[in-house]
Amino acid sequence: MLKKILIGILATGILCTPLMALNVVQSQTTDGKINILLDENWGADGEEIRGFEVADKRYGRFIPATARAEGNRVTLSYESYATEEEQRQYTVWRYKGKNAALQSYPGELVFKAVPLGQYPAVGRVVIACVGDSITFGFGIPDEQKRYPETLGRLLGERFTVGRFGNSGKTAGKCNPGQWYGEQKEFTQALAFQADIYICNLGINDTGHHLWNPTASERDFGTLIEAFQGEQGSSVVLWGKLGPDFRGEPGKPGYPGNVFEGYSFRPYDSGSATNRAIMECIIAKLAKKYNCETIDAYTEMAKDPELYKVDGLHPTPEGAAKLAKLTYEWLLQYYKQK
């Protein structure tokens, strides 16, 4: 018969629910470990226990913990880059095993995004790169040389970066099937539960023969609202879109074809004129939804050689530069501890 739940344990002030016939006597957090003292033995010494998770109670994103039993003690090990004091203050744990539940806090923890510039006490900051073919990495066969993967390596172990790009997709519903919000990558990006969504969309809208600026503003706003969600994720928009070196050499463009002997596409589809309109829309949306913006144009346009894939998509070297620009922008918010 299950024993009565212990409430208000003097050592920790923790509320717990019963696990089989076990009660928690004490739970102490040290650097990267939680030592749980039970009133009875869990099982065989050294036994690995599956089902334990830990989280920063401010954000509610649970990650698996490695748990081992030794008599009536269970030790949890987990990933953290915070100070020991921050871990003691914010780390909570739970066990959800077969026919049993046990946790170090009362009630439920709801997922909330880590604010831009903050670190969690447990786990990592999660970043989703969403957008069109540049985010996807068109023209770069080696996935590890695409910009999101390179960004992840630059940011290091405190961050997890995911890539959710889909070539040719638009911010607005220009044509059935081309809106980013209708793609599996959009659904996957939401399921990723990112703290930050870095969004590269709008380039394909400007050159589309059915482009409607009003629709792009409306539908892009719908995407931003979805990315922010109830959890309050940060959304970062490419406020100045990447350069376009296509078109007839010597003709105006964005910034236009500067290559002698190269004619990636010998005409302007409207992008040279429409990009300025799209960037005004993005600025308007950034203000409305309190989004940050990144300039993906100014520095990248200085080096046309980085776009000799087809004049629009960066080479691996271009993707590396784009990742570095994004990394340096993020450093404004994240200081090394």
Residue positions counted in the chain: 337
Q: How far apart are the first and last CA of the chain?
A: 49
Q: How many domains does the chain have?
A: 2
Please indicate, yes or no, if residue 113 is contained in any of the structural domains: no
Both 77 and 196 in a single domain? no
Q: Check whether residue 266 and residue 186 sit in a common domain.
A: yes
What CATH number should be reported for the domain holding residue 185? 3.40.50.1110
Same-domain pairing of 73 and 218: no
Domain that holds residue 37: 24-103
Give the distance from CA 193 to its chain's centroid: 7
Q: Which contacts (CB < 8 Å, 24+ apart) does range 316-321 have?
A: 316/140, 316/142, 316/145, 319/137, 319/140, 319/145, 319/146, 319/147, 319/150, 320/145, 320/147, 320/150
State the pairing for strand pair 196-200/159-165: unpaired
Note the pLDDT tens digit of each residue in 140-186: 999 999 999 999 999 999 999 999 999 999 999 988 899 999 999 99
Q: Is residue 60 part of a domain?
A: yes
pLDDT in tens, the chain (337 residues): 223 333 333 233 343 444 455 777 888 999 899 999 988 888 777 878 899 999 999 999 999 999 999 988 999 999 999 999 999 999 999 998 766 778 999 889 999 999 999 999 999 999 999 999 999 999 999 999 999 999 999 999 999 999 999 999 999 998 889 999 999 999 999 999 999 999 999 999 998 888 999 999 999 999 999 999 999 999 999 999 999 888 777 777 788 777 766 667 766 677 778 999 999 999 999 999 999 999 999 999 999 899 988 889 999 999 999 999 999 999 999 985 4
Neighbours of 70 (CB within 10 A): 14
Residue with tokens 């004619």: 263
Asked, for residue 9, whether it belongs to a domain, the answer is no
pTM higher than 0.75 for the full model? yes
The CATH number covering residue 96 comes to 2.40.30
3-state SS string for 98-161: CCEEEECCCCCCCCCCCCCCCCCCCCCEEEEEEECHHHHCCCCCCHHHCHHHHHHHHHCCCEEE
* Beta carbons of 167 and 132 less than 8 angstroms apart: yes
Are 163 and 267 contained in the same domain?
Answer: yes
* One domain, residues 186 and 299: yes
- Same domain? For 248 and 280 the reply is yes
Structure tokens at 245: 């070196």
Instruction: Examine residue 211 and state whether it is found in any structural domain, yes or no.
Output: yes
